[in-house]
């Protein structure tokens, strides 16, 4: 515990509601333990540019309810190079930063893992991504808020779909994982859910919603994860429109709407727990690990596992969605 005197905190990759709650928790937990805290702006790019600013207890007042990230975030190609990482290391040493908390997704953790293989400044990760697709944790910051945003949007779309006898293909985020699509599809009573984990769903779409048509449904909602093999909602709608001539087919892409907004209570609480745990991990001489939540308990997962292993959707939920759509 004695060797950690000053820590840095950064947010990297896509923003997610609850990141500010995590920044707040990191900052105040560090201060409680008599540590200095440095905010690193614009993610790994901020490490390379030495874009540092001290954080105090008042610096993180009135941010727990705000979406986005007060430290900003960015993609950084330079950190993928040895030269970029060396520059980051030199800046950290010059600023006397003894450890870094990285709030982000698997790409962010990949960079942290490589850095820790090369240099002696420990990095600890906090999972922050709306996709909820990181191995080693049941929960990622921002997922609950994004899920509720999707549900609210689909509920509104259902109203107009029913009024006009329309079939809506609604594309949600999830380039490589269908967690948002699956959970929002069940929560909104979608007639079909298309996710990248299951191949060939688009080709079987007519069969998937046939039973609903026999009951003369006035609307059909099909949730499509953006990473589907068929090319997303627009491509699927175009391919199947001849099968559904009785419906006025429309497509809605929710896009970055899902990233914004005030974080839910669950995201605020869990982000606070994970931010606190990240500082405790640094004080416990941990490095190259992610703090996660497994069965609602804090767990430490090596970066190597978090980024290399795949988190699967619950196939029992896929079957439940199929049964309840009849």
Domain ranges of the chain: 6-142+263-308, 144-259
Q: What are phi and psi of 95, to 5 degrees?
A: -85, 0
The token pair at 215 is 């009951």
Q: Is residue 103 classed as helix, strand or coil in its secondary structure?
A: strand
Q: Going along 23-80, which residue ranges are E strands?
A: 36-40, 52-55
Q: For residues 81-88, give the mean pLDDT.
A: 97
Q: What's the CATH number for 6-142+263-308?
A: 3.40.50.450
Please tell me if the domain spanning 6-142+263-308 has the same topology as the one spanning 144-259: yes
Just list the catalytic residues: 131
Cα distance between the two ends of the chain? 58
Exposed / middle / buried, residue 73 (Cβ in 10 Å: 0-12, 13-18, 19+): buried
Res. 1: pLDDT tops 50? no
Q: Calculate the alpha carbon distances from 317 to 73, 76, 96, 162, 173 in Å.
A: 33, 36, 49, 26, 19
Q: Architecture of 144-259 per CATH?
A: 3-Layer(aba) Sandwich (3.40)
Asked whether the predicted pLDDT for residue 214 surpasses 60, the reply is: no
Specify the pLDDT at position 228.
Answer: 67
pTM over 0.75: yes
Q: What is the pLDDT of residues 177-188, one digit of tens each?
A: 899 999 999 999
């Amino acid at each position: 515990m004695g060797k950690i005197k000053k820590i840095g905190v950064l947010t990297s990759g896509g923003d997610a509601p609850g990141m500010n709650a995590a920044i707040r928790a990191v900052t105040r937990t560090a201060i409680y333990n008599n540590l200095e805290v440095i905010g690193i702006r614009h993610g790994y790019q901020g490490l390379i540019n030495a874009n540092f600013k001290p954080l105090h207890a008042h610096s993180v007042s009135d941010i727990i309810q705000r979406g986005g990230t007060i430290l900003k975030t960015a993609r950084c190609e330079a950190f993928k190079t040895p030269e970029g990482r060396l520059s980051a290391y030199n800046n950290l040493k010059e600023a006397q930063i003894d450890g870094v908390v990285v709030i982000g997704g698997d790409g962010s953790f990949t960079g942290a893992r490589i850095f820790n293989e090369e240099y002696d400044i420990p990095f600890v990760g906090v999972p922050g991504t709306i996709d909820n697709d990181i191995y080693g944790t049941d929960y990622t910051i921002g997922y609950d808020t994004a899920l509720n945003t999707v549900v609210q949007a689909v509920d509104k779309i259902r109203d107009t779909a029913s009024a006009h006898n329309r079939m809506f293909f609604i594309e949600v985020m999830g380039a490589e994982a269908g967690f948002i699509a699956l959970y929002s599809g069940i929560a909104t009573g979608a007639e079909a859910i298309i996710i990248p984990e299951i191949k060939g769903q688009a080709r079987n779409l007519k069969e998937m919603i046939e039973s609903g048509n026999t009951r003369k449904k006035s609307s059909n909602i099909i949730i499509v994860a953006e990473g589907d093999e068929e090319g997303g909602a627009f491509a699927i709608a175009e391919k199947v429109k001849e099968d559904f001539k009785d419906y006025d087919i429309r497509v809605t892409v929710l896009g970055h709407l899902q990233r914004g907004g005030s974080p839910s209570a669950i995201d605020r609480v869990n982000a606070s727990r994970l931010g606190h745990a990240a500082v405790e991990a640094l004080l416990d001489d941990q490095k190259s690990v992610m703090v996660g939540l497994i069965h609602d308990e804090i767990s430490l997962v090596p970066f190597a596992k978090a980024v290399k292993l795949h988190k699967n959707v619950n196939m029992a939920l896929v079957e439940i969605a199929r049964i309840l759509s009849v």
